A = this chain, B = another copy of it.
Amino acid sequence: MIVTVVGLGLIGGSMALALKSSGFASIVLGVDINQQHQKTALKLKLVDHIENLKNAVQKSDLIIISIPVNQSGKVINEILNYCDKQTVIDVGSTKYELAKLIERHPKRSNYVASHPIAGTEFSGPEAAVKNLFKNKVTIICDKEKSSEKAYNLTHSMYESLGMKSIFMSSKEHDVHSAYVSHISHISSFSLALSVMNKEKDEKNILNMAGSGFDSTVRLAKSNHKMWTPIFIENKNNIIEVLNNYIQQLQSFKEAIMNENQEGLSALIKEANGIKKILDNK
């Protein structure tokens, strides 16, 4: 099977590597508007050839879109225009606004909306790793809007990556993502900013960074080209989570100001509930 990957960053590059390695793809074609990424992807053998979008689509059975979410709608519509029997999937982190941009395309059913839940704080083709997706979960959105053929192909592709599929609507997807992923990134970015504003002397950060700081701030290394569009696409859900999160912080602040030991302990014990959930994974 010939697979085209549009967008040769961390996710697209890792998928290209994994699909070639699993044997699912016999040939992987790469499309990227960034010439440096094209060169790196060829050099690292993430893809077999670089093509322009139209040629790549016409030669392929499956096209995977892995570009910033605010650009996906336009590119997917363009690809659907070139399509005949091909299946087109995107792997972006927001889905609801995108779904609205594509729903009226006559070839909508060639398209499958998906979101493999995997990543690192790194970006670009150099960050691609073959086993990024293994034993992780992928979300398929609005499954009923895809043809059986397109869905089946997508499902077997994710199976070849070692992923389990779960299903929800685009709308539900974006609410959950805001709560479980997007807020974690805003929390980390804000933490990094607070610390750097205060600790002008980097040594103090370094010396004290053993105590849990590293893990809470890890995501603050994430790339703005990916995350700025996600935050704006998922604006309404994220504002809701941010309000909720700031309210929790205010509860801590109030309990600390009042030296309310019982109240603080109650908040912490409630938060400890996350242990049971994460340890069941």
Which A residues contact B (CB, under 8 angstroms)? 93, 117-119, 121, 136-137, 139, 166, 176-177, 179-181, 183-199, 202, 204-225, 227-229, 231-232, 235, 238-239, 241-246, 248-253, 255-257, 259, 261, 264-265, 267-275, 277-278, 280-281
Contact = CB atoms under 8 A, between A and B. Distances in A.
A136 B210 CA distance: 7
A188 B217 CA distance: 11
Nearest to A208: B180
Instruction: Quickly give the copy total for this chain.
Output: 2
Contacts of A199: 176, 179-180
Given A176-B207, A232-B256, 8 more contacts: A118-B210, A176-B199, A181-B211, A194-B245, A195-B274, A198-B244, A206-B278, A224-B264
A240 to B, nearest CB: 9
Nearest to A259: B232
Nearest to A217: B274
B181 A228 contact: no
Nearest to A221: B275
Contact of A219 (B206, B215, B218): B215
Contacts of A257: 235, 239
A92 B202 CA distance: 23
